[in-house]
Chain A
């Protein structure tokens, strides 16, 4: 099956975002683990694995469309120095990811590739779940303070 080049470019863009997120989340998770914040470690580790599963789906889709998945390209990682900053940077990354996925969905729609569109819509749903969780953590930190918040994560 021959894919349209606009769709392939959009899918590769999403792939780059995914590969970047895998690494940012993975490092943040293990930094939390190193500091003893096991809840945060587990949650963010899982988010990283989820990004990898999404990347896998996108890679397979690109191959099916006779394209070449670009695993070379990686965006800049935004790594925080302390928990609050790390969560805030993840929140920012995730909301930008969501924007890219939405753009890719519109591209697929315009190009009438409804299978890719469907795949991205499913990915988007899971993205929004993690975004919600990140939003909640950031506002919780604002409300109860970082010390109280971290106490709960031990």
Chain B
């Protein structure tokens, strides 16, 4: 599926990026430009990103810097 249609980025590309170390929305934006045009894909991209990270079964800490949850979710390893 195309997660980001503006930049033509698929869920599989995001999963592959996670395998290669991508962990945040910022990583996806830097690598593919996800969410940098119309922004409609950010929610969906975040879901795909988090699913891919969780599928790795590693321990993660999620920091939500804004109470509205609007900002990047930073994920670090313990």
Using CB atoms and an 8 Å cutoff, list the residues of chain A in contact with chain B.
Answer: 74-81, 85, 89
* Separation of A85 and B2 alpha carbons in the complex (Å): 11
Q: Which residues of chain A are near B44, meaning CB under 8 Å?
A: 76
The answer, among A74, A75, A89, for a CB contact under 8 Å with B1, is A89
> What total count of A-B pairs have CB within 8 Å?
19
**Chain B residues within 8 Å of chain A by Cβ, number:** 8
6 additional A-B residue pairs with CB within 8 Å, beyond A80-B2, A81-B2: A74-B40, A75-B40, A76-B41, A77-B2, A79-B1, A79-B2
Interface of A is mostly: loop
Q: Chain A contacts of B43 at CB under 8 A?
A: 76
Q: Mark B1-42, 1 if CB is under 8 A from A, else 0.
A: 110010000100000000000000000000000000000110
Q: Which residues from chain B contact A78 at a C-beta distance below 8 Å? A: 1
A76, A79, A80, A81 — most chain B CB neighbours (10 Å): A76
By beta carbon, the residue of chain A nearest B42 is A76
Q: Bound state CA distance, A75 and B5, in angstroms?
A: 12
Closest CB-CB distance, B31 to chain A, in whole Å?
19
Report the separation of the CA atoms of residues A89 and B1 in the bound assembly, to the nearest whole angstrom.
9
Contact A77 B5 (CB under 8 A): yes
CA distance A133 to B41 in the complex (A): 28
Contact B41 A81 (CB under 8 A): no
Nearest Cβ in chain B — how far from A46, in angstroms?
23
Distance between Cα atoms of A67 and B10 in the complex (Å): 38
CB pair B5 A85 closer than 8 Å: no
B40 touches A80 (CB 8 A): no
Q: Which of A76, A81, A85, A89 contacts B40 (CB 8 A)?
A: A76
